[in-house]
Structure 1
């Protein structure tokens, strides 16, 4: 039985898209070798991603690959999110929506700013690119973020934790125990970031962030947790007591609130854990019971 012309046409479009991407990747190899020594040949694609690809090329098979196979091909071809979605749509499948953009992102950020105003604890707004789009006054005072506009370019979560021009790194690593805790938190954050954005790792924004990681020698940190190792999400920092100006160690934890069904943008909220932290937070004007609610949902 003949396959309908429309399906034959779509199959030709899919093969054309795959071949265009494959040749694009081969062309890129002229400038630099692939880190995993891929050659992006038709045979290699057949062997590594889609065992029926050669049959598809010569007409022995005329069935459009299923959705998961298209995703596998896109993975082999190191596709960006846009390239993968173009390939999915060419094959007649729904695209994978990873991050908000355009007006949808603007609306989510507007909601986040409005919501952050009702939060009585230190808080910041973070996008999927780890850019910090806003902080409240308790946050600025707790972490001693300078008001100098020269620091605005450092408003990224990576800079916040790793840049030595900001006080957070030195105040979080003031002795051996605090350094080990800070290092474990950094390792956990890097691993979580990689898991969250595995489908975006070839996108320009991800690569830009990867270079920022390299700037701070983040590659020194292990890529995986030790077997059986558990991460304590409580962190320690030297914080200033308003009345005396003295720096004291306090323990705090972070919770995240998302604007909708997507993980980002999100509001990171910092809550006190011990008595010293509650005293510092109280001086910042935070409530002492460590509880608050947003649209009827309580957080503590």
Structure 2
């Protein structure tokens, strides 16, 4: 490609990119024509220049012909509050690789089928979770360990938030039976919320994300912890958790410690399988009654 042809190609690409950006910018202006933006954004060309792309005005008037780099395009998409599809359209227009965080359509269906097959062969309690935190499957050891009513899973769409925050589901009351267990439950809740926000930072303007946030609103604790920073979050994944579990021989509830590991079934983090493993002797006894191995060493796990 000659220098002239390369410059002509760059100019055409830049023209397409600017057209996409301006269309999105004016779309946002129309969306807030009759109301104030929560952050008082006006979505003007000057504001975009000041907040996301310092060369934007020069690009518009032709004083610069260089297509903004990939990170700048992402900054522009963030400023314009783009959905994942809108952001990827901008990246593609600029000849950059789009960002695909999660599986969709048939690829997601195949991954869920694979997750079901893997989970059916796991000897420990497990559940299948998607990036929207929806629970797509539970095995019997999980259902019995946490006393999850069968109807609650069939008749409604269960979510990780329901498991953690809904007092009508046994997991929360059995995880907060004294001051120490409540403190651990609270720490886990804060870590989970912040991990969800971090993992989906580029999807927060997507429809599914907004609908999920609306669903979260019914739980006061989520609102309470939403902007709380986790303490010692780097080690949270390695920490064991505690819950009251039923001893089959006596029917009494005893505190047990377990840990949770995440298994991905594809190159994406989700959908994935959350597997629960016993940590202390009490937990191993409870797990044995569920039909799980008493020891984890043979499965490559050292709790």
Class of the TM-score when normalised by the shorter of the 2 chains: over 0.9
Is residue 2:18 matched to residue 1:15?
A: yes
For 1:167, the equivalent position in structure 2 comes to: 170
Pick closer, same or farther for the CA change 1:196–1:208 going to 2, 3 Å: same
Q: Within 5 Å, which residues of 2 pair with 1:247-258? A: 247-258=253-264
Is residue 2:34 matched to residue 1:28?
A: no
Q: How many residues align?
A: 296
Instruction: State the SS of the aligned residue for 1:199.
Output: coil
Pick closer, same or farther for the CA change 1:249–1:32 going to 2, 3 Å: farther
Pick closer, same or farther for the CA change 1:261–1:64 going to 2, 3 Å: same
Q: Within 5 Å, which residues of 2 pair with 1:189-204? A: 189-204=192-207
Pick closer, same or farther for the CA change 1:291–1:109 going to 2, 3 Å: farther
Q: Deviation string for 1:178-208 (max 9, x for gaps)?
A: 1111000000111111111111111111112
Instruction: State the SS of the aligned residue for 2:292.
Output: coil
Q: Deviation string for 1:99-139 (max 9, x for gaps)?
A: 00111111111111111111100000001011101010000
Cα deviation for residue 227 of structure 1 reads 7.4
For 2:301, the equivalent position in structure 1 comes to: 299
**1:136 and 1:73 mapped to 2: Cα distance?**
44
For 2:224, the equivalent position in structure 1 comes to: 220
Structure 1 or 2: more helix by fraction: 2
For 1:260, the equivalent position in structure 2 comes to: 266
The two structures, once aligned, show a CA RMSD in angstroms of 1.9
Q: Is the 8 A contact 1:88 1:95 kept in 2?
A: yes
**2:34 and 2:143 mapped to 1: Cα distance?**
45
Pick closer, same or farther for the CA change 1:292–1:133 going to 2, 3 Å: farther
Cα deviation for residue 282 of structure 1 reads 0.6
**2:126 and 2:233 mapped to 1: Cα distance?**
32
Pick closer, same or farther for the CA change 1:235–1:290 going to 2, 3 Å: same
Cα deviation for residue 238 of structure 1 reads 0.9
